[in-house]
Structure 1
Amino acid sequence: MKLKSLASATLGAAALMFSLSPQGELGFAQAVAQAETVRPEVGKHLKDASALIKGGKYKEALAKVRDAEAVAGRTAAENNAIEGMRVAAASGAGDAESMVRGFEALKAAGKLAGPSQLQMMESIAGTYLRGGNAAKALEWSNKYFAAGGSSPTMKQVQSQAQFKSGDMGAVLKDTLAELQADEKAGKVPTQDKLNLLLYAAQKKNDAGAEAFATEKLLNYYPTKQLWAQLLGSLPSKKGFSDRFALDVYRLKLVTGNMRDANDYMEMAQLAAQAGYPDEGKQVVDKGLAANVLGQGTEGARHKRLADLLAKKIAEAKAAQTGAEKDAQEAKDGNALITLGLAFAHRGEAAKGVKLIEQGIEKGNLKRPEDAKLYLGLAQFIGGDAVKAQATWRGVKGTDGVADLARLWSVQARTSKK
C-alpha cells in the first residue's frame, strides 16, 4: 500500500519542495514515500517519524526510522522511503553522518535529480559546519561546487569552512577571486570579505597579499587606524628605499598619524634637508597648533626649529631667481624637480607643476619615477586630485616609489568621502 497520510507529491515535485530546513526535507521524504509502494509494517514507523519531525522531535524520529529499517524483507522501494525520512530527521537532529548515508543511498537508487542533489549537499555541508566539523563542511561544499552548484549561501559556507579548518591558502585564493569578480561587476566588496582576505594573508605571512588587502580596505573603508597599520609596516617592506622616509611622513601627516613630537621634528628636519623649508615650517606650525610641539622641556627647542625654518624660507626666496636660472640651464632636469616641489609647498603649485614637467621633459633624470611621484604630489597640493591620480597611475618601480604613488591615489580618492 501507499502511505495515504503523507503528502501526495511526486518525485518530480519533490525537488521544488526541498529546502535547507528539516520540514523541507520532510516534504522530500514524503514525496519519496508517496511515489513508492510501502507495506503497512514499514509505513507505520515512517508515519510516526513524520509526525515526530513536525513536532521537532528529530532524535525520536530517527529512532522510528531505525524501527522501519528493522523490518525484515524490505523492498528497494521501502528502503528509498526509509532513506528519505532518515535525511529529514537527521537534518533536524544535526546528524550529518546520517544525512550522508541517506543521500548516498537515494543517489545510488536514482531517486535524486540534479537540483535535489545540490540542495541536499548544501544541507549536509551546512549541518557539518553547524556541528563544528569544518573539514567535512569544506569537503561537501567543494563537492557541491564541483557538481555545478552556484548558491551564494554555499559560498559563505565554503569560506567559513576553509577559515575554521585553517586552510588559509584556499581562503586567500577564493576570497581574492570573489573580490576581483565584485570589482569587475562594479560592486563594492563587503568589509567582511576584505577583512577575511587580510586575516588570511596575515596567517599565511604573505606580505604582498596583506598589503593588497589593506590597500583595498583603505580604498573602500578608510580609517586612521588602517593607515597607521600600513604606513607603520611600509618602511620594512622588502626593497623599500630609505630615501622615502620623508614621503612616509607626508602620508602620516595627511592621514592624521603623526604620533608625537619626535615625528613632527623629524619630518620638519627631513623636509628642510631635502630643500623644502616651507614644508618643514608648515609641519612645525601644525605640531604647535596641536599642542604637540612647544610644550614641556623641549618646547624651546621646537620654537628654535621654527625660527630656523623661517630663516631658511627667507633665504630660499632671496635666492629664488638664481636657483630657477641655474635649474633651467642645467643639462638634466633633476634641479627642476626639486625646485618645482618647493614652489608647490610654498603655495605656488601651478608654477611648481610647470617646473617639474619641464624637468621631466628635459630628461637625464637620476630617478624618473620619483619625478612622476612628485609631479602628482604638486598637482594634488594645487587641488587637482584627478590629474594627480592620473600621474600616479603611471609610476612604476620596485623600490617603494610605486607603493607611495598608489597610496597617494587612495588618499586622494578617499579624502573626499
Structure 2
Amino acid sequence: MTASKLRAVTTAFLLGTATVCGAAMLLSAPAAAAVSAKVGKPLQEAQALANAGNYKGAMAKLNEAEAIPGKSAEENRIINQMKDFIAIKSGDTSTPAGAKAKFANDYNAKKYKEVIDDGEALKKHNVLDAASMQIIAQAYYLSGDKNGCLKYIKNNFGANPSDTTLTLQMRCAFDAGDEVTQRQALETLVAHTGKAEYWNDLLKMSEHGAGMRDHDTLDVYRLRLLTGTIAGKDEYTTLAQLAIQLKFFTEAQNVLEKGQAAKVLTDDRTNKLLALAKSQAAAANANAAKDLAAAQAAPKGDALVKIGEDQWGQGKGKDAVATIKAGIAKGVDDKNNAQIRLGMALIAAGQKADAQKAFDVVKPASPTDKSAMVAHLWSLYARH
C-alpha cells in the first residue's frame, strides 16, 4: 500500500475542517452580524488581536464576550465559531475543533508521530471516530512502526474492521513478518470481496510450507484456475503435471487446452504434454466402467472418492457428488480427503451452502497436516 493511497483515505476527514475554518469569514466583519453593541465590542477586539497573531489575547476577549449575560443564540453561535477558528489557527488542542485541526495539519505535514499523539486529544474531546482512528493506524505505518500499527488495529477496531483497515493490517503484517496476522487479514478480505488480487496473495502464501502434499498443492492450483489468478506458462504446466501425476488425466487435458486458448501455452513441450494427457484420458475413460465396478465392490469407499474427484475434473459435478457420497457411506480411510472432494463436487453442482458444511468437518490430523487449510480455502471460494 503506497503513501498516496493511504493519504487518499483521509480526504473526507480532512475536508471536514473546512466548515470550521469558515469561521474566519466571521472575523472579517463581526459587526455585520446580528449582534448587540455590548457583544460586538469584544468580538471586534478579538478580531484585531487575532489578525495581529495574538491568539491568546483574542481568546481572552472571546471569553469576555461569552460571559456577557442575555446573549442571543446567534451571538453564542458566532462566539463559538470564532473560538474554534482561533483554536485552529493557534494549534490549541483544548477545543474539539482545535484538536481536529492540529490532527489534520500534522498529517498533511507528515508529522506522523505527532498525529499518533494527537489521537489522545481527539479522544479527550470525544471526537475520535473511525475515520480518525484509521488515520492514526496509517500514521503508525508511515512512521515505520509496523508493530505499533498492528497493535493499534487490534486494540481499536474490534472484530469487524473495514476492508481499508484490513488492507493496512495485511501490509503491516507483511512488513513485520507476522504471517499469521497477514493470513487472517487476507482470508477476511477474500471472504468480504472475492477480489482476485487478494486471492492471489492468499494462494501464494498457501503454496508452500511443511506438510504440503502434492494433492494439497494441486488443490491450491485448482483454486488459482477457478479464481482467475493462474498466470504464466509455469503455473498452467505445474497444475497439469500434478493432475497427470495423480491420475486426473481429463482435468490435465482441460487445463492445458485452457492455457493454449489463453495464448499462454504455445511451445512444443506443451503439445507433448497435452498429447500424453489425451492418450491417458482416453485409456482411463475406456476402463471407467470396470474401475467403477471394482470401486463399488471394494470394502472401503476411498476408490469411489477418487473416481468422484476425477468426475469433478471432467466437469461432471452432480455425478461426482453421488459417487463421493457413495464412497463416504461405505467408510473411508482418509475422511478429510473425502470431505474436501465432496465439498468441491457440491460447489460444481451449485450447492455451495452444503459445500461449506462439508469443508467445515475437516480438521487437521497432525500439526503439519494441511487438509484443514485446503478445506478452508475452498470454503472461502464457496462463499462467492
State the AA in 1 paired with 2:46.
L
State the AA in 2 paired with 1:304.
A
Residue number in structure 1 paired with 2:323: 355
1:341 to 304, 309, 312: 309
For residues 348 and 253 of structure 2, what CA distance do their matches in structure 1 show? 16
Larger Rg: 1
For residues 20 and 158 of structure 1, what CA distance do their matches in structure 2 show? 22
Residue number in structure 2 paired with 1:301: 272
* Cα distance change on mapping 1:364 and 1:324 into 2, 3 Å: closer
User: Secondary structure of 1:306's partner?
Assistant: helix
After TM superposition, list the pairs within 5 Å mapping 1:259-298 onto structure 2: 259-293=231-265, 295-298=266-269
Residue number in structure 2 paired with 1:137: 115
1:207 aligns with 2:174: no
2:137 to 159, 184, 207: 159
User: Secondary structure of 1:304's partner?
Assistant: helix
State the AA in 1 paired with 2:88.
S
How big is the shift at 1:207? 1.0
2:88 to 84, 88, 91: 91
Residue number in structure 1 paired with 2:283: 312
1:402 aligns with 2:380: no
Tell me if the contact between 1:335 and 1:359 (Cα under 8 Å) persists in the aligned partners. Answer: yes
User: Secondary structure of 1:383's partner?
Assistant: coil
Tell me if the contact between 1:65 and 1:85 (Cα under 8 Å) persists in the aligned partners. Answer: no
User: Secondary structure of 1:180's partner?
Assistant: coil
Residues 280-309 of structure 1 deviation map (CA, whole Å, 9 limit, x = unaligned):
22223323433444x333254134223322
Residue number in structure 2 paired with 1:63: 53
1:172 to 146, 150, 155: 150
For residues 252 and 112 of structure 2, what CA distance do their matches in structure 1 show? 55
How big is the shift at 1:375? 0.9
After TM superposition, list the pairs within 5 Å mapping 1:119-130 onto structure 2: 119-130=97-108
For residues 272 and 68 of structure 1, what CA distance do their matches in structure 2 show? 82
Structure 2, gaps ≥5 residues long: 1-16, 68-80
* Cα distance change on mapping 1:400 and 1:147 into 2, 3 Å: farther
1:218 to 168, 187, 190: 190
1:393 aligns with 2:350: no
* Cα distance change on mapping 1:409 and 1:250 into 2, 3 Å: same
* Cα distance change on mapping 1:266 and 1:123 into 2, 3 Å: closer
* Cα distance change on mapping 1:296 and 1:341 into 2, 3 Å: closer
* Cα distance change on mapping 1:262 and 1:86 into 2, 3 Å: closer
* Cα distance change on mapping 1:218 and 1:323 into 2, 3 Å: same
* Cα distance change on mapping 1:299 and 1:352 into 2, 3 Å: closer
* Cα distance change on mapping 1:129 and 1:361 into 2, 3 Å: same
For residues 233 and 106 of structure 2, what CA distance do their matches in structure 1 show? 55
Tell me if the contact between 1:49 and 1:85 (Cα under 8 Å) persists in the aligned partners. Answer: no
2:296 to 307, 311, 325: 325
Report the TM-score, using the length of structure 1 for normalisation: 0.67
Structure 1, gaps ≥5 residues long: 1-17, 51-60, 104-116, 183-188
Tell me if the contact between 2:134 and 2:165 (Cα under 8 Å) persists in the aligned partners. Answer: no
User: Secondary structure of 1:275's partner?
Assistant: coil
Residues 305-361 of structure 1 deviation map (CA, whole Å, 9 limit, x = unaligned):
23322333234315324432343x23xx33232122223334543343233234334
Residues 247-281 of structure 1 deviation map (CA, whole Å, 9 limit, x = unaligned):
12211221233334443333233223323223222
1:228 to 180, 200, 203: 200
Residue number in structure 1 paired with 2:345: 378
State the AA in 1 paired with 2:306.
T
* Cα distance change on mapping 1:164 and 1:262 into 2, 3 Å: closer
For residues 153 and 58 of structure 2, what CA distance do their matches in structure 1 show? 45
Question: Which stretch has the larger CA shift, 375-384 or 347-356?
Answer: 347-356
User: Secondary structure of 2:228's partner?
Assistant: coil
Indicate the percent of aligned positions where both proteins have the same amino acid. Answer: 24
For residues 317 and 82 of structure 2, what CA distance do their matches in structure 1 show? 77
For residues 194 and 344 of structure 2, what CA distance do their matches in structure 1 show? 20
For residues 166 and 225 of structure 1, what CA distance do their matches in structure 2 show? 25
How big is the shift at 1:376? 0.2
For residues 400 and 236 of structure 1, what CA distance do their matches in structure 2 show? 10
CA-based RMSD = 4.1
Tell me if the contact between 2:321 and 2:345 (Cα under 8 Å) persists in the aligned partners. Answer: yes
